[in-house]
């Protein structure tokens, strides 16, 4: 994959001011940014617009999971905001995925990349089993990636550890967006299926979603630059 701008910095902050304080120090040529449930619920679409005005591509990570008509409407609204990437839970099923695809396709002009979330990187096999999925994370990711690809979405969110099996099960160019990234020695926090940035790229990830390893560092910019240089040196 030829996109040199592969790092997506997670802006998981309680308000727009905190998110913009970090964004103002970041260069849109060096990273993209992700707005998730916490920031979007607190600050709304205006924070997305402010980030886009600063030149950032925004991944709107709201993981829609609802009946097809509702998800289609949410995807249309996200596309109208002008975001670069938007996602839905692949577990919502074929009809929901198809409705999301159709809604985005009907948007005039630039369309966001439409991505399906497979299995959250905070879940391990034991946690999956507890909610009735006994086949393990890897098999469930493979199943949901195949369905997502069949429905014409642009890629999936998965752990980098599953990128190779997703590639094998899907068409060329199908994107692997991978959270659960940690630097050697970082705390895992609530994540379970974690991989380092260089390993993630080596394993076939297209985009790295990196939150606390950057945002909780004493010097977030230095960590971002270290990661970028590590990737480019490869
Ligand atoms: O701080 P950390 O690097 O763990 O942040 C990961 C981000 O990626 C969080 O915002 C989380 O919501 C998101 N995410 C995830 N696992 C997925 C999809 C998204 O961790 N499967």
Express each pLDDT in 136-165 by its tens digit: 999 999 999 999 999 999 999 999 999 999
* pLDDT given for residue 2 in this prediction: 74
* Residue 1 confidence (pLDDT): 60
191-64-206 Cα angle (round to 5): 55
- Here the tokens at position 174 are 């199908």
The whole model's pTM is what?
0.95
Measured between its terminal Cα atoms, the distance across the chain in Å is 14
* Residue 184's pLDDT band (cuts 50, 70, 90): confident
Give, for ligand 1, the residue of 160, 187, 209 to mutate: max count of ligand atoms closer than 8 Å to Cβ.
Answer: 209
Give the Cα separation of 106 and 79 in Å (integer): 10
Tell which atom from ligand 1 comes closest to the C-alpha of 117: 21
By most ligand atoms within 8 Å of CB, the mutation choice from 121, 144, 158, 216 for ligand 1 is: 121
Q: Report which DSSP code applies to 195.
A: B
CA 25, 29, 31, 36 torsion: positive or negative? positive
Give the pLDDT mean for 99-117.
Answer: 97
174 torsion bin: left (phi>0), alpha (psi -120 to 50), beta (else): beta
Distance 68 CA to ligand 1 centre (A): 24
Residue of the CA atom closest to atom 15 of ligand 1: 179
User: How far is Cα 57 from Cα 163, in angstroms, rounded to an integer?
Assistant: 23
The yes-or-no verdict on residue 234 having pLDDT over 70 is: no
Percent of the chain with pLDDT over 70: 99
Q: What is the mean pLDDT of residues 156-184?
A: 96
pLDDT by residue (tens digit) across 7-44? Answer: 999 999 999 999 999 999 999 999 999 999 999 999 99
Mean pLDDT of 61-74: 98
Kindly state the tokens that stand for 91: 């577990």
Give the ligand 1 atom nearest the CA of 12.
10
Give pLDDT, residue 134: 97
In sequence order, what are the residues at sequence separation of 6 or more whose Cβ sits closer than 8 angstroms to the Cβ of residue 12?
Answer: 36, 38, 39, 211, 212, 215
SS3 for 167?
helix
- Residue 153 has a CB neighbour count (10 Å cut-off) of 25
What is the 232 CA–ligand 1 centroid distance (Å)? 23
* Ligand 1, CB cutoff 6 Å, lining residues: 10, 12, 36, 61, 117, 120-121, 157, 179-181, 189, 191, 209-213
Active-site residue numbers? 63
Residue 170 half-sphere exposure toward CB, CA atoms < 13 A: 29
Where do the domains of the chain lie, and which CATH numbers do they carry? 7-226 (3.20.20.70)
Question: Strands, DSSP E only, in the chain?
Answer: 7-10, 32-35, 58-64, 85-89, 113-117, 155-157, 175-178, 207-210
- Average pLDDT, stretch 188-193? 90
């Amino acid at each position: 994959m030829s996109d040199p701008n592969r790092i997506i910095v997670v802006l998981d902050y309680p308000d727009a001011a905190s998110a913009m304080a970090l964004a103002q120090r970041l260069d849109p040529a060096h990273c993209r940014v992700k707005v998730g449930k916490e920031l979007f619920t607190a600050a709304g679409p205006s924070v997305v617009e402010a980030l886009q005005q600063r030149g950032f591509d925004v991944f709107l990570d709201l993981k829609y999971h609802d009946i097809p008509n509702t998800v289609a409407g949410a995807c249309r609204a996200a596309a109208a905001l002008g975001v670069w990437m938007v996602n839905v839970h692949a577990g919502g099923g074929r009809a929901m995925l198809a409705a999301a695809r159709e809604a985005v396709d009907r948007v005039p002009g630039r369309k966001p990349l439409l991505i399906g979330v497979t299995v959250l990187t905070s879940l391990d096999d034991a946690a999956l089993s507890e909610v009735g999925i006994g086949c393990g994370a890897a098999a469930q990711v493979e199943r949901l990636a195949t369905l997502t690809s069949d429905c014409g979405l642009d890629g999936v969110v998965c752990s980098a550890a599953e990128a190779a099996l997703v590639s094998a099960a899907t068409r060329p160019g199908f994107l692997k967006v991978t959270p659960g990234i940690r630097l050697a020695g970082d705390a895992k926090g609530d994540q379970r299926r974690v991989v380092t940035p260089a390993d993630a790229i080596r394993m076939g990830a297209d985009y790295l979603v990196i939150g606390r390893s950057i945002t909780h560092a004493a010097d977030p910019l230095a960590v971002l630059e270290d990661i970028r240089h590590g990737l480019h040196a490869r």
